[in-house]
Amino acid sequence: MAWSAQQYLKFETERTRPASDLLAQVPLERLTAGYDLGCGPGNSTELLAERYGVNVITGVDSDADMLEKARLRLPNTEFQKADLATWRPKQKADLFYANAVFQWLPDHLDILVSLMDHLKPGGVLAVQMPDNMGEPTHVAMQETGAAGPWKAAFEGNRLRRPNLPSPLTYFERLSPKSARVDIWHTIYNHPMRNAEAIVEWVKGTGLRPYLEAAGEENRAAFLADYLQRIDAAYPPTADGQRLLRFPRLFVVAVKA
């Protein structure tokens, strides 16, 4: 599935805030080899480069459009096109940093455990993932998918992303290789201009597979049905805005 950097960056400030919050908990003053896994258009890579230097960070992503924007943003930083399910560094790293990418990989826990073997002692695995499958934005995707002439494409909830494992599961899987594992949730509440703005937000990420599966001929009708559900699920505030509740899971593991 192709991603759109332009669509993703419509809410760059809001999307970068969790990346900044994750980086604030990375206990490394300096490094010689750090990787931004699932770097996207480079907004998170830029944070890493500002803290550690443009020459010690490498961005890794599987999407050509995202990488093109990232290279324009940080011309002196290396970027690699790769599948994170199989990618591993050639040499051991100080930092693996991943902002909102591993939720897309069903076996990501196995990948994270494997990545710990590619860290230097004292190296850090820092991961942030949306934990929002129970939120109205994603419930409405399922409801809309089952409601129209496109419903055959969504039978069996085949596009539904699995819920994240429990914090305890991450802790137990990562602890044997770690000197310390910190896990926490943060719930962001983003003021959005209207219901249409919420739809624009998810069009950059979670809604994209649904729109592709519905087909170009059904896109407008699918969006209209989805917007109606979002409008009902997120009532206006006193000033007419909508408050988008967005839970995220953070994991920071320090290699033993």
Distance from C-alpha of 244 to C-alpha of 242, rounded to nearest angstrom:
6
Q: What are 66-75's pLDDT values in tens digits?
A: 899 999 999 9
Contact present, 122 and 93 (Cβ < 8 Å): no
Question: b/e map of 40-79 (b: 16 or more CB within 10 Å)?
Answer: bbbbbbbbbbebbeeebbbbbbbbebbbebbbebbeebeb
Helix or strand holding residue 52 (H, E): helix 43-52
DSSP for residue 165? P
pLDDT at 7: 56
Q: What are 54-111's pLDDT values in tens digits?
A: 999 999 999 998 899 999 999 999 999 999 999 999 999 999 999 999 999 989 999 9
pLDDT at 248: 98
Distance from C-alpha of 36 to C-alpha of 57, rounded to nearest angstrom:
7
In a 13 Å sphere around the CA of 57, the CA atoms on its Cβ side amount to 27
> Residue 63 is encoded by which pair of tokens?
């999407």
Least confident of 17-31, 185-199, 208-222: 208-222
Task: Give the three-class secondary structure for 183.
Answer: strand
> 166, exposed or middle or buried, with CB in 10 Å at 0-12, 13-18, 19+?
exposed
Q: Which of 146, 134, 137, 138 is nearest to 222 (CA)?
A: 146
pLDDT at 1: 44
CATH class entry, domain 5-255: alpha beta
